[in-house]
Amino acid sequence: MMTEDDAAYFAKTMTELQRAVILLCSRKESWGYSRLAEKTGATYGDVRSVGHFLQSANLARVSPVRLSQEFNGSAIFLNDRGDQVRLAAERLSKRKKHAPNQ
């Protein structure tokens, strides 16, 4: 488990796209890469890179998702550490929205 300060630092040092993607993910549910790309305005490849980054940073797992029996792409599912960073990213985005001159 990481500390709250560690999670805040991690969120602060992430790119805007990494933060946008992690804010759309959770432990139990996630959009597939295609939908995450649509929601963030990024490309599929960029979202796939974020998924690989989150997995290599031990914040998430990337798993294939199925619609009925058909493969429907991959999705990002956060673990406990990833959820802590997601919460820190939420706090960071709220501060940015309320900061003067922004």
Could you report the per-residue pLDDT of 10-63, keeping only the tens digit for each?
A: 999 999 999 999 999 999 888 889 999 999 999 999 999 999 999 999 999 998
Angle (deg, nearest 10), helices 16-23 and 33-40:
120
Close Cβ partners of 9 (under 8 Å, ≥ 6 residues apart): none
CATH number at residue 82: 1.10.10.10
Domain count, the chain: 1
How far is 37 from 15, CA to CA, in rounded Å? 15
Does the reported pTM lie above 0.75? yes
100 has pLDDT over 70 = no
Supply the range of the domain harboring residue 11.
4-98
Per the model's pLDDT, the better-predicted residue between 74 and 18 turns out to be: 18
